[in-house]
Amino acid sequence: MMAVVTVAIAVRRNLFAVVILGGIYSFLMATVLVALDAVDVAMTEASVGAGISTVLFLSALFLAKSEEMKPLHKPFLPLVVAVATGAVLAYGTLGLPAFSDPNAPIHQHVAPRYIQEGERETGVPNIVTAVLASYRGYDTLGETTVVFTAGVGVIALLRRLRQRTRGDKR
Amino acid sequence: MKDYLVLRVIAKLMIAFMLLFALYVQFHGDFGPGGGFQAGVISAAAIIFYAIIYGLPAARAVVPDWLVETMVGAGVLLYAGVGVVGLLLGGNYLDYFVLGHDPVHGQHRGIFWVEMGVLITVAGVMLKIFYLFAGRAEGGER
């Protein structure tokens, strides 16, 4: 089903339909994440991917034309690059441990301690919150800084453009 | 969209619940799914919803630009500040054990403020991006 949506996104020329299909794709992704018991990530995917991104795309669409232009060049080179990259990535997964293998290195390093000691040490039953905010506090500080930087970047870009257009009118 | 009566009434009803749900996601994040990122996005979505139905000037009156821009920076500062408070109280940077009278309590306090910082920055950035895009649209074509 997600493959169908992806193909539809690639084929469609009407950008409004593409934005809505993107939202549908995010919701499908969220259901997959729920099936994988990653409820926190599913919630983020549903709210960020399907909610805010769709709204931002729509507001950007309001500024642009709603029909995509015919591509000027043939799509064969990008297709080859995409297929080659996909093949390399698929080849890379062969080296990974089997799915949900309890002996995989990622489950042996610090994860057992988080699971066994997390609730006692932090008093927080949701292990995702405990890891995110406490054990991995530095990483989350970095993530917040990334969001901050993205926001400042957008402010710097769009605000200057707005001032310039205003100056042109005078 | 300002003329659609049904949309206006339903929006007014739903926005309160959206904001409440954002607070629930934020403060119940210790026990169920959720946390600062999700809550920030949901609360920003509530304001954006208001802006879409009632128009950008109305939303700007509720959450003015200076507040949004302050939020963008204030969240990161709050997060980093929690780490500094930990330093001042004799722990390591971002060490929450020293924040309360017993370690578990300190952890609760640290996680609470850190998640609060994430919420403020995420909500601020999302709102700011939307304001900028929508502001360009209103200044240009309309």
Encoded tokens for A86: 């996909």
User: Is the model's pLDDT at A88 over the cut of 90?
Assistant: yes
Nearest residue on chain B to A138, alpha-carbon basis: B94
CB contact under 8 A, B41 and A47: yes
Does residue A166 form part of some domain? yes
Does residue A98 form part of some domain? no
CB contact under 8 A, B35 and A52: no
Q: How many CB atoms lie within 10 A of CB B67?
A: 13
Indicate the residue among A67, A89, A123 that finishes a domain: A67
In terms of pLDDT, which residue wins out, B62 or B96? B62
In terms of pLDDT, which residue wins out, B50 or B135? B50
The H or E element containing residue A3 is helix A2-11
| Cβ-based contacts of B113 with chain A (< 8 Å) | none
CA distance A77 to chain B (A): 33
Indicate the residue among A38, A67, A96 that finishes a domain: A67
For CA atoms A151, A146, A141, A22, the dihedral sign is: positive
| Cβ-based contacts of B38 with chain A (< 8 Å) | 40, 43-44, 47
User: Is the model's pLDDT at A105 over the cut of 50?
Assistant: yes
Encoded tokens for A152: 């400042």
For CA atoms A72, A74, A77, A79, the dihedral sign is: positive
CA distance A49 to chain B (A): 10
Instruction: Please name the residue that has the structure tokens 């990334």.
Output: A146
How far apart are alpha carbons A140 and A138 in whole angstroms?
A: 5
Banded pLDDT at B59 (limits 50, 70, 90): confident
Q: What's the pLDDT score for residue A169?
A: 45
Considering A17-26, A154-163, B99-108, the range whose residues carry the highest mean pLDDT is A17-26
Q: What's the pLDDT score for residue B142?
A: 36
In which domain, by residue range, is A136 found?
Answer: 113-170
In terms of pLDDT, which residue wins out, A165 or B73? B73
| Cβ-based contacts of B123 with chain A (< 8 Å) | none
Q: Tell me A134's DSSP state.
A: I
Residues A9 and A63 in one domain: yes
CA distance B33 to chain A (A): 5
Secondary structure (H, E, C), chain B: CCCCHHHHHHHHHHHHHHHHHHHHHHHCCCCCCCCHHHHHHHHHHHHHHHHHHHCHHHHHHHCCHHHHHHHHHHHHHHHHHHHHHHHHCCCCCCCCCCCCCCHHHHHHHHHHHHHHHHHHHHHHHHHHHHHHHHHHHHHHCC
Residues A62 and A118 in one domain: no
CB contact under 8 A, B38 and A128: no
Q: What's the pLDDT score for residue B28?
A: 80
For CA atoms B4, B6, B9, B12, the dihedral sign is: negative
CB-nearest to A137 from B36, B45, B94 is: B94
Q: Which of B120, B31, B44 is nearest to B82 (CA)?
A: B120
In terms of pLDDT, which residue wins out, A132 or A162? A132
For CA atoms B72, A156, B133, B5, the dihedral sign is: positive
Does residue A20 form part of some domain? yes
Q: What is the mean pLDDT of chain B?
A: 82
- Give the phi and the psi of residue B136 in degrees, each rounded to 5: -65, -40
Encoded tokens for A146: 């990334």
Does residue A119 form part of some domain? yes
Cα angle: A156, vertex A159, A161; to 5 degrees = 105
Quick: pLDDT tens for A20-50: 888 888 888 889 888 888 888 888 888 888 8
Q: What is the mean pLDDT of chain A?
A: 80
| CA-to-CA separations, A81 to A27, A78, A90, A93, B119, in angstroms, rounded | 28, 5, 14, 19, 39
What is the arithmetic mean of pLDDT over A49-70? Answer: 79
Banded pLDDT at A84 (limits 50, 70, 90): very high
Q: Which of B140, B32, B59, B99 is nearest to A55 (CA)?
A: B59
Does the ipTM surpass 0.85? no
Does residue A42 form part of some domain? yes
CB contact under 8 A, B139 and A162: yes
Instruction: Please name the residue that has the structure tokens 């707005």.
Output: A162
Q: How many domains does chain A have?
A: 2
Nearest residue on chain B to A48, alpha-carbon basis: B41
Does residue A78 form part of some domain? no
Does residue A75 form part of some domain? no
Q: What is the DSSP string of A15-72?
A: HHHHHHHHHHHHHHHHHHHHHTT-HHHHHHIIIIIIIIHHHHHHHHHHHS-SBPPPPS
Nearest residue on chain A to B97, alpha-carbon basis: A122
Nearest residue on chain A to B130, alpha-carbon basis: A56
Residues 99-138, chain B, touching A (beta carbon < 8 A): 103-105, 107-108, 110-111, 114-115, 117-118, 121-122, 124-126, 128-130, 132-137
